[in-house]
Amino acid sequence: MVIAGCQNRPESPEEDDSDVTDTEVESRFSAPTVPSKPSEGFAGSAACRECHAEISDHFHQHPMGQSLADVMLATPLEDYEENIKFETPRAPRSTVTLSYEIEKTPDGVYHHEILTDENGEVIYDLPVPVAFAVGSGKRGRSYLIDRGGFLFMSPVTWYSGGERWDLSPGYEGRNLHFDRRIVDGCLSCHAGRVAEIESAPDQYKPEPFLEESIGCERCHGPGEEHVAFHEGKLESESDPMLDLSTLSPRARDHICFQCHLIGESRVTLYGRSEFDFRPGNTVDEIWAIILKGTGVESDQSTAAVNQAEQMLSSVCYQKSDGQMSCTSCHDPHRIPKPAERIEFYRSKCIACHGPDDVECTEPVAERLKVTEEDSCIECHMPSLAANDVPHTSQTDHRILRRPQKTVPSKKKDNVYYVFGQEDGVLSEADLERASAISIIRSAEQTGNDVLAGDGIEILEEWLKVAPDDLKAQLSLGVAYWLLEDNRMAARTWEKALESNPDNEYLLRRLFVLYHDSGQLDLALKYGRQLVEINPYDYEYFGRLSHILAQEGEMSESAEAAEQALQLNPSAAQLHQWLVQVYDSLGETELRDKHIDLYRKKTGQ
């Protein structure tokens, strides 16, 4: 088994690295200050409702107020009765069909992955319980599986536009089945408050959400002291609640940007986590966000979340002297009803482009030919196809004077830059660290190993002054590994492991490296530790099975491979492996069983 993104690296890490010593030469970087922890004084949205019932009720009908919910309690919109099954495209020359069926029972919702042969006979039916629905349903909904605080995404999504079930975004080219891990960066925007485990990134407590949907405090800040002040339990001359009207235009916009400015890549700054943003912060105090132009491609498609980049490029925004913001057009507490939508947004445009200002130059008669309601957004903010989410579109937030069906790519649209670097919030060290991590991340994703070398010198220098920076340590090790310097990769990750002995991602890297380089004792050590920490990744068990067999532990090898198949029965190559394992054990009946299953699953 090969863990996604990992390739064989035959060179063995040398035991003796005495020739590698920490240099005493000073770093060109200054020692960074560890940022203070953000306030955790949350009261919860239920406390806000006691005094703000009307606005709270409106907000809970807003998409943000319905961003995540227990799947059994989410506002019903899916079809659970009739069109509850869909097939995935069949691979060339394949005779088997992979399909999904959605089942809602009084006890819960189950997503079934079903493989059938050419005669329609079921080869396997894997029912997986779904715990949470993500999304209000305006575009659609995806679903999360909760395995003891490890969250995974289902391959099944409900698309509201076509009122249909289909594969989740990104699964068309590579079906990740039920194995796509949900990470902190996902939940920081899609959930209200998460019961995180600080020492274990991307792992959560058994009850993973303190507040499921996005709540009042996401935009207004923690309200515990505000509630205490009004209950007479806090002595203060003034209400400690953040007054949003006192924020600068930049800080005001960044409340929205915390989730709507994703860019090509986000890197948390040193000492920061994905959950650290608080209203009053700017995003570049938490992340270095790498952008690429407006995010609109020459075919007029865009990512589903690209509104902020587009707005920043609009003439309306640039010439407003900080007056225009997201909330100039969007009410964060409520959305207009469908019948009110055109007039609602037209009134927002007329607020600046009315008779006493720069009115639309197109004659009314011509405008009415386009839409009888004289809709401004129909002309100036048409829909763009979302190129990363099927069956959906996004309003063009560039607010172009004369939008075209196709627009040639401009050089500046392809330029990468770090958001806010011109404002001087990010230090040169922050910029270099983030750029190095992003380059190495890109090198691994694209297979362009040469890129990895560009980040090594920067991170080596940075780690002299920030030796506890786990993200930098992980990335530096990846860079060495991509350049096939296994000795330095192992040294980097082992050193990081001293301070983070249970970190899943360090263990995974070392597990793969030592296995591929033939150091089976170390590979086995880390593999066993890894499946103890995360017993839900089939690739961990698959690789561990190979190592156990190489060490002569055939029975334990069979157990690990069987566990991998329980987690992911689509992994047909595991049957081939089990054929060899059971043959060596003299278990001919089990060997023949897996020969048959392999043939059925592959259609051979």
The pLDDT tens digits for 12-34 are 665 555 444 444 568 899 999 99
Distance CA 461, CA 458 (A): 5
231-249 confidence digits (pLDDT tens): 999 999 999 999 999 999 9
Statement: residue 474 has pLDDT above 60 = yes
CA-wise closest residue to 557 among 548, 570, 566:
548
Question: Same structural domain for residues 594 and 466?
Answer: yes
Q: Which residues in 135-151 are b (16+ Cβ under 10 Å) and which e? A: bbbebbbbbbbbeebbb
74-106 confidence digits (pLDDT tens): 999 999 999 999 999 988 888 999 999 999 999
Q: Are 83 and 165 spatial neighbours (Cβ–Cβ below 8 Å)?
A: yes
Burial group, residue 5, by CB count within 10 angstroms (0-12, 13-18, 19+): exposed
Statement: residue 395 has pLDDT above 90 = no
- Read off the pLDDT of each residue in 163-192 and give the average, rounded to a whole number: 95
- Read off the pLDDT of each residue in 107-117 and give the average, rounded to a whole number: 97
Bridge partners of residue 417, in order along the sequence: 291
What DSSP designation does 296 have? B
Tell me how many domains the chain contains: 3
What DSSP designation does 281 have? B
Residue 578: which H helix or E strand, with range? helix 573-584
**What is the pLDDT at residue 12?**
63
408-443 confidence digits (pLDDT tens): 555 455 678 899 887 778 999 999 999 999 999 999
Question: Same structural domain for residues 126 and 205?
Answer: yes
Distance CA 205, CA 219 (A): 25
Question: Same structural domain for residues 155 and 192?
Answer: yes
Tokens matching residue 214: 């996005």
Statement: residue 273 has pLDDT above 50 = yes
Question: Same structural domain for residues 406 and 458?
Answer: no
- Domain annotation covers residue 296: no
480-504 confidence digits (pLDDT tens): 999 999 999 999 999 999 999 999 9
Tokens matching residue 465: 């002054």
500-510 confidence digits (pLDDT tens): 999 999 999 99
**pTM, entire model:** 0.91
- Domain annotation covers residue 192: yes
- Domain annotation covers residue 328: yes
- Of 188, 215, 242, which closes a domain? 215
Question: Same structural domain for residues 480 and 594?
Answer: yes
**What is the pLDDT at residue 212?**
97
Give the chain's end-to-end CA distance (angstroms, integer). Answer: 21
Helix spans in 103-190 (H): 184-190
Question: Same structural domain for residues 480 and 581?
Answer: yes
**What is the pLDDT at residue 407?**
54
**What is the pLDDT at residue 292?**
84
Statement: residue 149 has pLDDT above 90 = yes
Question: Which residue range(s) make up the domain with 334?
Answer: 303-413
CA-wise closest residue to 522 among 532, 508, 511:
511
**What is the pLDDT at residue 232?**
94
Give the mean pLDDT of the chain.
90
Question: Same structural domain for residues 404 and 458?
Answer: no
Question: Same structural domain for residues 81 and 202?
Answer: yes
Question: Same structural domain for residues 480 and 593?
Answer: yes
Statement: residue 69 has pLDDT above 50 = yes
- Of 159, 192, 215, which closes a domain? 215
Question: Same structural domain for residues 457 and 564?
Answer: yes
- Domain annotation covers residue 281: no
Question: Same structural domain for residues 64 and 191?
Answer: yes
Burial group, residue 310, by CB count within 10 angstroms (0-12, 13-18, 19+): buried
**What is the pLDDT at residue 412?**
55
325-379 confidence digits (pLDDT tens): 999 999 999 999 988 988 899 888 888 887 666 678 888 888 888 888 888 888 8
> What is the sign of the dihedral through the CA atoms of 338, 394, 182 and 278?
negative
Higher pLDDT, 303 or 208: 208
Q: Are 348 and 264 spatial neighbours (Cβ–Cβ below 8 Å)?
A: no
- Domain annotation covers residue 402: yes
- Tell me the pLDDT band of 6, cut-offs 50, 70 and 90: very low
- Read off the pLDDT of each residue in 383-391 and give the average, rounded to a whole number: 76
- Domain annotation covers residue 46: no
- Domain annotation covers residue 315: yes
CA-wise closest residue to 86 among 188, 207, 170, 168:
168
**What is the pLDDT at residue 282?**
95
287-328 confidence digits (pLDDT tens): 999 988 777 877 778 776 788 888 988 999 999 998 999 999
CA-wise closest residue to 140 among 78, 72, 82, 59:
78
- Of 215, 246, 278, which closes a domain? 215
Q: What is the CATH number of the domain that holds 483?
A: 1.25.40.10
- Domain annotation covers residue 429: no
- What is the percent of the chain where pLDDT is above 90? 72
- Read off the pLDDT of each residue in 56-84 and give the average, rounded to a whole number: 95
Tell how far CA 305 is from the center of its chain. 12
Question: Same structural domain for residues 59 and 194?
Answer: yes
**What is the pLDDT at residue 415?**
75
